[in-house]
Amino acid sequence: MIKFENVTSTYDAAQHPALEGVNVEVEKDEFVFLVGASGSGKSTFLRLILRETRPTSGRVYVAGKEINRLAGWKVPGLRRQIGTVFQDFRLLHNKTVAENVAFALQVIGKPRAHIKRVVPDTLEMVGLQGKENRMPDELSGGEQQRVAIARAFVNRPMILIADEPTGNLDPNTSVGIMKLLDRINRTGTTVVMATHDVDIVDQMRKRVIELDEGRVVRDQSRGVYGRS
């Protein structure tokens, strides 16, 4: 589903590459944690999958396509197939829960009848039934993250990218969010999650890829946060 082939990525103003010589392959059914100190290259790794940045050398493939070669007009189509979830939720505060999720479908031109059908189903899946008409500010952090996950998943993306999704949540709430991401993974969506959350990584026992100064220093199936 995702393949990095000898990827090096250096930002214009930077002296050192943000990623260097990275070779990673992620299969469709996988759930992968990206770990590493601040500045080790996790966000750059995620941005490369979305083609928000391009490698300086090497190749990035998503679903068999080399995405650096993708014509500019095809990039929105790529991103449509990749859901994103962030630490700070990024909800639209002037829209209700249901409107936030519906909006993701409206902007890609889905028919109203389709939207009316799938939004309630998705909100139920994330455990927000009964809260459709609330505003984001009337929800807890965990609930807001569930809205963000519903919005990311409502179009059934091939890949879900999560950048520190539990970073603003307490441990119990984080466990609930991880159960949800695990469930989404079991529907066939590849999940790649950057995190500093030791407890979560240790509990989930998924594949762990550790970056250090832009290099992959560990790639472990059913891994833990620290080296073992």
Using CB under 6 A, list all residues that contact ligand ATP: 11, 13-14, 18, 36, 38-44
Do residues 166 and 89 lie in contact, with contact meaning Cβ atoms separated by under 8 Å?
no
What token pair was written down for 210? 């550790």
What token pair was written down for 179? 């159960």
State the nearest-atom distance from the C-beta of 14 to ligand ATP, in Å.
4
Nearer to ligand ATP, 41 or 142 (CB): 41
Nearer to ligand ATP, 84 or 100 (CB): 84
Strand, coil or helix: what is 167?
coil
What token pair was written down for 110? 């889905």
Helices (H), the chain: 42-49, 75-80, 97-106, 112-125, 141-153, 171-186, 198-204
Q: How far, in Å, CA of 24 to CA of 22, rounded?
A: 6
Nearer to ligand ATP, 10 or 203 (CB): 10
State the nearest-atom distance from the C-beta of 123 to ligand ATP, in Å.
29
Nearer to ligand ATP, 85 or 97 (CB): 85
State the nearest-atom distance from the C-beta of 47 to ligand ATP, in Å.
7
State the nearest-atom distance from the C-beta of 175 to ligand ATP, in Å.
21
